[in-house]
Structure 1
Amino acid sequence: MPDPNQAALDFLLTRRSRPAKTLSRPVPDREALAPILEAGLRAPDHKKLEPWRLVVLNGAALMRLSQLVPDRGQALGRTPEEIDKQVAQYANADLAVAVVASPVPSPDVPEAEQVLSAGAVCLQLLNAALAAGWGANWLSGWASHDPVFARDGLGLSEGEWIAGFIHIGTEKSAPPERPRPDPAAKITWIDA
């Protein structure tokens, strides 16, 4: 058994995402972001398929994405409120990492496992950013699920899709802690 790492366990027991709207500058530069990105890539990955990739977006790139939202929202029949919310998600951000799911044909690894691996990359990035002292939040939204937005905004290929955007920055304010699941209501023990 490996040596216990109580500090890591304490972090995981108290970790909490920071709302993206509370994040601002400064954001990590490339040097500070490098270990966070590397930690993200250490997610579980059956057969080492690497069925994901990362796209780092700075403020100018995020502003460009925000400008794609209104036309796509209108084409998809989204309400003005839904469009405005998605515009703000990109326009008000200074740094985000898009986790792109890129499933790989495999006779041994079902696509569902590869999707879960992409989700694990999102969580690894989120937790690594928080552990490094930054505020971070994992967001998606209707625009990120639109193949046209993904293709035009991020250059995604056929079969790729956005697993999430990890927003990273300096937390301006901390909201109160939210209620957490009751372990007794969510855990079943089977002994035989």
Structure 2
Amino acid sequence: MTKRFPPTPPRDAPLPGARPSADARALLALRKSANKLLLGLPGPAPDEMDELLTVAMRVPDHRKLAPWRFVVFEGETRVQVGEKLAGILAARGAPAAQVEEAAKSMVRAPVVVMIVSSPVEDGRTPVWEQELSAGAVCYNLLLAANASGWAGVWLTEWMAFDKDAAALLGIGAAERIAGFVHIGTARGPTPERVRPELRDRVTRWVAG
């Protein structure tokens, strides 16, 4: 495999506080999630996926708790999990269209990664901070995938908030699903969407 990222530096290695990069600036300025219906083959191979996940973990993490974990769905497992999710809705008498959509939910992309927020109760670090770290992992995974040439989208959908789906997916009592990141190859462009005006979202504190 051709490594797409530098190796993880050894502990306590001095790292620069800034890394100016025109390519990174362009990536961030033009970042756009892919349409979930326009993801196809190929996707990352298992060793490539491991590299992406290693990079995704380089996020702010107060007290180094690593309060998140990954579950990777590849190959036939995506079909099996989708069918079981569909079974949950079918048992509730959900409309056929919803059941069918659930069955397809895990096969939209070659690889689906479930990011699970797993807070550590250390008595010092707020759970909210730890959940924000899990969200940063989701976003960092998207950026790593995009920088490697794959398209991706971060979704939650009903199964991220459903207790029966949580039981099926092995989610612990103190855990929450931060999202499902679907990764593959874009089969077409995704139009830019409306972005907020900066002036509507920023104020500057004035000393009084």
Query: Do the structures match in fold with TM over 0.5?
Result: yes
What amino acid does structure 1 have at the position aligned with 2:172? S
**Residue number among 89, 93, 114 corresponding to 1:73 in the alignment:** 89
The question of whether the paired residues in 1 share the 8 Å contact of 2:43 and 2:109 is answered with no
Whole-Å separation in 1 of the counterparts to 2:98 and 2:104: 10
Compute the displacement of 1:77 (Å).
Answer: 6.1
Query: In structure 1, what is the Cα distance between the partners aligned to 2:110 and 2:185?
Result: 10
Q: Which amino acid aligns with 2:89?
A: G
Question: In the TM superposition, what are the counterparts of 1:70-109 in structure 2 within 5 Å?
Answer: 70-75=86-91, 78-109=94-125
Contact 1:86–1:141 (CA<8 Å) still a contact in 2?
no
Q: Which has the higher helix share?
A: 1
Question: Once superposed, what is the RMSD of the aligned Cα atoms?
Answer: 1.8
Matches within 5 A, 1:93-132: 93-132=109-148
Deviations 1:147-181 (A, max 9, x none): 321222x3222222211111100110112211211
Mapping of residues 1-192 of structure 1, within 5 Å: 2-75=18-91, 78-152=94-168, 154-192=169-207
Question: 1:97, CA displacement in angstroms?
Answer: 0.9
Aligned letter for 1:48? Answer: K
TM-score (norm 2): 0.84
AA of the residue aligned to 1:55:
V
Cα displacement (A) at 1:75: 4.8
Query: Alignment partner of 1:175: what SS?
Result: coil
2:181 aligned partner, one-letter code: I
Which one has more relative contact order, counting CA pairs under 8 Å at least 6 apart? 1
Preserved contact between residue 99 and residue 165 of structure 1 (Cα < 8 Å): yes
**Structure-2 change in CA distance of 1:3 and 1:135 (3 Å):** closer
Between structure 1 and structure 2, the one with the greater Rg is 2
Question: Relative to structure 2, which stretch is displaced further, 63-72 or 167-176?
Answer: 63-72
Partners in 1 of 2:114 and 2:19 — Cα distance?
34
Question: 1:91 is paired with a residue of what secondary structure?
Answer: coil
1:81-109 per-residue CA deviation (whole Å, 9 max, x = no partner) reads: 33333322213332111101111102221
TM-score (structure 1 length as normaliser): 0.90
Q: Distance in 1 between matches of 2:84 and 2:204?
A: 48
* Consecutive aligned runs of 4 or more in structure 1 exceeding 6 Å deviation: none
Residue 20 of structure 1 and its aligned partner are, at CA, apart by: 1.9
